[in-house]
Structure formats: structure tokens, C-alpha cells
Amino acid sequence: MAEIKELRCVIGGCSYRAAEDVYTCPVHGEAGTLDVLYDYAALRRDIDRDEISVSALHSCWRYKTLLPIDECSRVPPLAVGWTPLYDSPRLADALGLSRLWLKDDGANPTGSLKDRASALVLARALESELGVVSTASTGNAAAALAGLGASLPEIGIVIFVPASAPEAKIAQLLVYGATVLLVDGAYDDAFELCLEFCREQGWYMRNTGVNPFTTEGKKTVAFEIAEQLNWQAPDVVVVSVGDGSIISGIHKGFSDLLQLGWIDRAPRLIGVQAEGSAALAKAFAAGAAPESIQRAKATTVADSIASELPRDRAKALRAVRQTGGAFVTVSDERILEAIPTLAQASGVFAEPASAAACAGLESAVKAGLIDSEESVCLVSTGNGLKDIANARKAVGGELRVAADAADIRRALQSVGVL
């Protein structure tokens, strides 16, 4: 286990001791999210990178010694993390890049990167013997908590989701047996209600940008990218951004590795937002402080990156600013087009929020934010089966045929297959 030295406020540097009821900085309010920091000199001394490389644990728990849980503590049994990193020459070609890797986090147990955060939060809940864990979510964080929670019978899960969440995501929650509150409102309304009930009932909050350990779970994706590239960081990492927690986790992961001396430079981070939910991209362009961001309407086909007030705004802006990265925005139309583009060039089927990163990568290359000679890692954050209705809008071309061989032959001839 990595012993926590302090929880430090991103806005003012205020320092706190770790406890399960410390969420955001009482001085700097909701924008003051906390970094989980360790004694890096001790970690450097005690942990050997090459020992991790030969670990037989093919999950995020191979990095247990760099995570804020006990070495011997119980973790959810599902295989979270250690997702594939694909070399993607055809997609690279299509985008005018020489080297592109695709990290497929849609391959996680519940189909998204959110499993990493939920797994860690649940491991901490087990350690502290907390009976109920709750979250508000646009769908994936909830599915992750419900699914991993179902593997731990002693923990009850209460979920707040906007009633507009895609059908498959709601079905997933119900199948896992969580208590599901479909809130007649936006994600941000569900979020506020979840906070209220957690405070009132003493439930453990998994909420993004509130629970500091979600970032620690998400950082494992950066550890994996580096390890899968033989402890090298790519020049650039591109990922889609809603609340800003994933990009912050990626930043934290590479920062930890830098402090350990296991990599010698961190990648530039490029965050992709939907045009209709672009609070962070706007703040970045304006050079604005995270505290100045106000809640504003958010609408996009990519439900997982719709956020009216990005909860991890301080960490996300810092991630991009500190690494010399950028934010780009993409239209819903381009997000939908990117679903088949990505799938047909790589075999990875991504949900809209995840395909948005691919559309954003294309924009970033065109805008000269990425040089064609640089190595790039595109993080695919969620599985395409999460939102079939939108995927269906992006593709056509099926051959309607009678149950008749002659008709099928004609159809195949019409498209040149025969």
C-alpha cells in the first residue's frame, strides 16, 4: 500500500489528513478538489518497476503498491483494468499520424473506464466497513458502481441518474440490482440530490470530483499505457472530457510515474469536449480560473460528457495547462461520424462520448496541435453497446433481402461482393 501523506486542495494547497468523510476542501468549496499525495521518496525506495512488470495480476491491482489501499485488503473480484493497448496503424494513417495507440477501456467489466474509480472506492469502503455507497452519474459511473458493488454482497448501492440516460445504461443498473433513482432532471440535479442524501444518511460518496479517490483509480490507465509501452510515455494522450475526472486521473498517473523516476517526461494531454458541453474548453481558451466557471446548460448526443458544471474543473484545467496540452471541441455530427470511423479502422466500437476523442484527435491534428511525427495514445473510454440508438444513426448500408438465395445473390452483386 502507498501510505497517504496528505490530501491537498488543488486551489489553495490546503492540507488534510485522509479520512472517508473528507471530500472537497471546506475552505475553497466544491471547486477545491483534493489530490491524494504520497511520500514519493519512500515509494521510490520501496517499489521496483520491474517487479510490477512481471506481476501475474492482469488487472489494475498490479499497481496496488501505488494505490491508497492496504496490501492485503479485499478488492472487488471482477477484472478491472489491464485493458488492451492496440497499435493502430490504419487509424494513424487515416488521421495523418505516424504512430497511434488505442487504449480500449470499453473492455472493462461494465464497459467503461469508470470501473477503475468504482473499484478503488469500493475497496476503501470495504476497508472502512461502510455499508452503502452512492453516486450520481450520467450512467457509466453508476453502472460501474452497481456492477462492481454486485460482486460485494456486504455493500448496498444507491444510484441517482437523469431519467434521460440511454436505455442500455439504465438496464445495466437494474440488472445489477442497485437501488436506482431515475431523477426527472439533468445530471447536475441528480448530483446535488445525491450529495444531499449522502450527507443526511452518512452514505459513502463515490461522486466524481467529490471523492478524491476516484482520481486514484483512474490514474491506473496511465500506469498501464506507460507499462504497455515498456515504461515510455507517448508524446500526446487524447481523451474526451465531461467532468474532467478522467483527464485528471491520467495526469495524476503520469505525474506519479515522473516522481518515481519510472518515465522521464509526461505526455501533453488533449481534452476533447462536445460543442454543446464545453465549459472547460471555454475556460481554457479564456485563461480563466476554475473557480470562475458557472453552471450552464449542456446538450450533446454524447451523454457521458454532458456536464453543466464540470466537477473536476480545477484538476482538469491544471492537467492540460501543466502538460502544455489543449482542449478542442467537436460537434455532435462529427461525434456520430467518428463511431464508424474508429470501429472500421480499428475494430473498437465506442459509445459517442468515447468516439468524441477520435473526432477531437482529427481536429487537433488539423489545427496543428499535434505533429504528424509524434506518438499519440487515444483513450477509448466506453463501449459502443452502451448506446445503440445513437450508433445506429451513424451507420446504414444494410442489404434488405427476402429469405431467398436469388434475392441475396442480386443484393450482393449490387454492392460488388459477388
Ligand X SMILES: *Cc1c(COP(=O)(O)O)cnc(C)c1O
Pick out residues in 312-331 that bind ligand X (CB under 6 A).
none
- CB–CB of 92/99 below 8 Å? yes
Under the criterion CB under 6 A, does residue 305 sit at the interface with ligand X? yes
Give CA separation, 139 vs 101, 123, 185, 351, in Å.
26, 21, 14, 12
Candidates 24, 134, 354, 390: give the one binding ligand X (CB under 6 A): 354
Residues forming a β-bridge with 136: 160
Under the criterion CB under 6 A, does residue 343 sit at the interface with ligand X? no
CB of 8 to Zn ion, least distance (A): 8
Under the criterion CB under 6 A, does residue 144 sit at the interface with ligand X? no
Under the criterion CB under 6 A, does residue 62 sit at the interface with ligand X? no
Q: Which residues contact 321 (CB under 8 A, 6 or more apart)?
A: 284
Pick out residues in 30-59 that bind Zn ion (CB under 5 A).
32
CA 375 to mean position of chain CA atoms: 21
The gap between the terminal CA atoms of the chain, to the nearest Å, is 61
Choices 125-133, 226-234, 238-246, 361-369; region in contact with ligand X by CB under 6 A:
238-246
Task: State the Cα–Cα distance between residues 169 and 258, nearest whole angstrom.
Answer: 36
Could you tell which of Zn ion, ligand X, none binds residue 66, using a CB distance below 5 to 8 A set by kind?
none
> In terms of CB distance, is 44 or 295 closer to ligand X?
295
Under the criterion CB under 5 A, does residue 212 sit at the interface with Zn ion? no
Beta-carbon-side half-sphere exposure of residue 186 (alpha carbons within 13 Å): 13
For residue 97, what is its C-alpha cell? 499520424
3-state DSSP helix/strand/coil percent for the chain, to nearest 5?
A: 45, 15, 40
Under the criterion CB under 5 A, does residue 12 sit at the interface with Zn ion? yes
> In terms of CB distance, is 25 or 353 closer to ligand X?
353
Candidates 250, 281, 353, 364: give the one binding ligand X (CB under 6 A): 353
Could you tell which of ligand X, Zn ion, none binds residue 25, using a CB distance below 5 to 8 A set by kind?
Zn ion
Could you tell which of Zn ion, ligand X, none binds residue 28, using a CB distance below 5 to 8 A set by kind?
Zn ion
Residues forming a β-bridge with 240: 272
Q: Which residues contact 48 (CB under 8 A, 6 or more apart)?
A: none
Residue numbers at the binding site for Zn ion (CB under 5 A): 9, 12, 14, 25, 27-28, 32
**Contact positions toward ligand X, by CB under 6 A?**
112, 114, 140, 208, 240-246, 304-305, 351, 353-354, 381-382
